[in-house]
Structure 1
Amino acid sequence: MEAQESGAGWDFLDWVGPDTSTCVFRLLDHPTDLARAAAVSRSWRRFVIDNEFCKSLCLRICPEVANFTRAVEVTRSPQPPAAHASESSHDADLRSRERDHRIYSYLSGALVSNKPSMDCILHCIVASSTDNFPDESIENTLEPQDRINHRSSYWSSGGADDPDLPESLTYRLNSDLCIIDEIRIRPFKAYFQPGHPIYSSKSVRIRMGRSKLPPGSECFVTDEDENLRAVADENYVWTYTSPEFPMLQKNELQTFKLPRPVLCIGGVVKIELLGRIQRQAIDNRYYICVCHAQVVGRSLSPDLMVDISDPAGYSILKYLPGASKLRAEDILPDDARESSEWHSLVARYRQMRHLAMMNVLLGPVQFMDEDDVGGVTDDDLYM
């Protein structure tokens, strides 16, 4: 009785009530704060889980999280079909809430990770037009230099009489889930033309999302006419569109910082180049030329992947506990003792890791380890 009167045995949640407690907990704006709160006691943990505070925090950090229709935890061992047949609906609901808490708690930590940013472009998908294909292909924009072996290296649009005709460059990122902070673009200066004109655009806009095309159909630019079919917006689901950023008519790497870090769900970024400034003297037509482009951010852990197969454009967040600790010998052909979904996702991880490693070896995408001490590890590719 004395303990209750002195307040020593009172639970804060019971003392202030659920409404006030909810308001207080919603003020916590970092995943570590929620983790500490959930560790105070069983009642605090249950309060955090039941009110889905981790999911709410993810939505506040990156509103794109709302595109996930549901979250799934994928384990290595297949679950027997009747494993939970005898559990009550209440127990099933508790288990579902616990699962969502684990997934969104992990996601929130990944969203605010302080891992260094890097260029996340894996390879090119398509340009809206190309003047002289393949010499002035979009692939030239992956090179930081504007001259390679004494030859110009840049992408050029087709010529246009209308200065308002837009162009676009579309890229595949090194992961289906990336946090993007900024875009960097260097307009091309035609040092071989009289007056050394700079073919910049008037402004830039960024779209992020996923492709609706069959996997692999937009992998590499190999034929101009074939790839132009991939540029239409109906082939993509865009989950984010940035404001327009004015571009300077300068031959320098210009940074366009997004208003906030953006979660790219699907690993596709489209850089829209809006408006033309420079005419070419030889034909008096407007062109846009880019010698280098970067999409700066970081890919999320391989523990988190996304199922983007829903034709309606919705995505399923998938959590694979322990996938980030996979070693080369762990990625083996299918084992009947392990779940088929686990193998399917690991196979996709292996494919993306292979492509990323090939880009590291062949250039020009540069990866760095967490301590920025040089070298490339598996974690660097997806953390």
Structure 2
Amino acid sequence: MSMMDHSNDFLSLIDIDTSLKIFKCLDDPADLVRVCCVSRSWRHFVVTNGLSKQLCLRMFPQLSRVASVVELNQNGVNGQTDVGSSQSISPALQKDHRVYSYFANSCLSPVAVDCIAKAIGASSTDNFPQESIDHTLDERDNVAGRFSYWSSSGQSNPNVPETLTYHLTSQICVITEINIQPFQAHFQMGSPIYSAKSVRFKMGHLKASLDDLAGETIPKKRDNLADESEKYVWTYTSPEFPMAKENRLQKFTLPEPVLCIGGILQIELLERVQRQEMDGLLYICVAHVQALGIQLSPAFTVDVLGPSGMFVLKRNHRPNCQPTVTSENESEAIITDRHFRQIVTILRAQVMGVEPMDGWDEDEYEIDDDFDENNPL
């Protein structure tokens, strides 16, 4: 065949395995949305083969711990009416497609914010509360006439590590980088900088249910959490990053964006490099900490199912849980009837290897009567 006819669909010309390999080359969630708009057969192929879920798993391996997905309707009740759905696709597959498609798109926000809500505690503190971990969340170097920083207790062994543990702003969020500024003690002779030699990051959740995170059982802020590590399940551990002995906010970009399930971040400060002249002991001191990323709550929440680490992913459809459309992305936020037809024409030309058509095949690409342009998935 020298050229495919306009009416031919390449999915009908090749085997399923080859079709899957082609569609799995789509690494942008928006591409899968556009593909679903080409025709009912294409949407059926995407949904029944769980391609949105597979894309999310490639983006975030942590999602392999998802036991099930739940949609909460406008009243916050489990259950969501299928919009523009096909009778030939099971409700469970359609639900998975909607949830994972929306999840993937939500993780692509270009704006990163500081996702640390508050401090849980440090493995040690030299002078509490004057040198508390709380000071690491204040961007000011000087507060009420005092230097603002956290200091570990002194050690003679340089290999004794320290940890700083934080509660993030969301039960589920994407972290891309962590920034740390070592503290420089200008009030000491020589203005020494009490950095660590390297850092490592862990993310995870409490071994108890995440419902505890919203109640009174959240770990209380402590000046010594050396014996509390067993309370957490770490679902991600970063590589070790070298830290410079410099008084500046140092940027540690993670190899890949990390999906933090449970909202707990721990910073490991490894190997002491600065000795205090006064007592001859080695200390680590930190002035500022940031964890930059994307907050996914309240549109998404999670329920951890016991110590196994498996969890339920919940998509909340209530009005106050929807993302705000800004002027920057407003023109791309909604696929209208006109956009729908333009996308189909362009994609048919690109996929079939032919010039764009002048006409429109209403029978093959008829828009569902109940198609919702605000929720094309």
TM-score range, shorter chain: 0.7 to 0.9
Q: 1:110 aligns with which of 96, 106, 112?
A: 106
Residue pair 1:120, 1:298 contacting (<8 A) in 2 also: yes
Higher-helix-fraction structure: 1
User: What is the CA–CA distance in structure 2 between the aligned matches of 1:306 and 1:187, rounded to whole Å?
Assistant: 34
1:369–1:105 distance in 2 versus 1, CA, 3 Å = closer
Aligned match of 1:179: 174
Q: 2:272 aligns with which of 276, 286, 291?
A: 276
User: What is the CA–CA distance in structure 1 between the aligned matches of 2:76 and 2:127, rounded to whole Å?
Assistant: 53
- What's the CA shift string for 1:92-119, capped at 9, x where partnerless? 98111111111101111111222x1111
1:63–1:165 distance in 2 versus 1, CA, 3 Å = same
Aligned match of 1:224: 223
2:134 equivalent to 1:153: no
1:218, distance to aligned residue in structure 2 (A): 3.3
User: What is the CA–CA distance in structure 1 between the aligned matches of 2:247 and 2:318, rounded to whole Å?
Assistant: 45
1:219–1:6 distance in 2 versus 1, CA, 3 Å = closer
User: What is the CA–CA distance in structure 2 between the aligned matches of 1:162 and 1:140, rounded to whole Å?
Assistant: 26
2:319 equivalent to 1:311: no
Residue pair 2:117, 2:168 contacting (<8 A) in 1 also: yes
Residue pair 1:164, 1:275 contacting (<8 A) in 2 also: yes
Structure 1 unmatched ranges of 5 or more: 81-90, 328-367, 373-383
Residue pair 2:117, 2:166 contacting (<8 A) in 1 also: yes
User: What is the CA–CA distance in structure 2 between the aligned matches of 1:313 and 1:34, rounded to whole Å?
Assistant: 29
Residue pair 1:212, 1:311 contacting (<8 A) in 2 also: yes
Number of residue pairs the alignment of both structures matches = 314
Aligned match of 1:169: 164
* Match runs of 1:1-383 below 5 Å: 7-75=5-73, 76=75, 94-114=90-110, 116-213=111-208, 214-215=212-213, 216-218=216-218, 220-221=220-221, 223-224=222-223, 228=225, 232-325=228-321
Name the amino acid aligned to 1:258.
L
User: What is the CA–CA distance in structure 1 between the aligned matches of 2:327 and 2:278, rounded to whole Å?
Assistant: 51
1:43, distance to aligned residue in structure 2 (A): 1.2
User: What is the CA–CA distance in structure 2 between the aligned matches of 1:140 and 1:79, rounded to whole Å?
Assistant: 41
Name the amino acid aligned to 1:168.
T
Residue pair 1:160, 1:286 contacting (<8 A) in 2 also: yes
Name the amino acid aligned to 1:319.
R
Alignment RMSD (CA, Å): 2.6
- TM-score computed with the length of structure 2 as normaliser: 0.78
Name the amino acid aligned to 1:236.
Y
Residue pair 2:197, 2:271 contacting (<8 A) in 1 also: yes
- TM-score computed with the length of structure 1 as normaliser: 0.76
User: What is the CA–CA distance in structure 2 between the aligned matches of 1:50 and 1:276, rounded to whole Å?
Assistant: 54
- What's the CA shift string for 1:237-290, capped at 9, x where partnerless? 111111111001111111111111111111111011011000111111110000
1:8–1:296 distance in 2 versus 1, CA, 3 Å = closer
Name the amino acid aligned to 1:62.
F
Identity rate, percent: 46
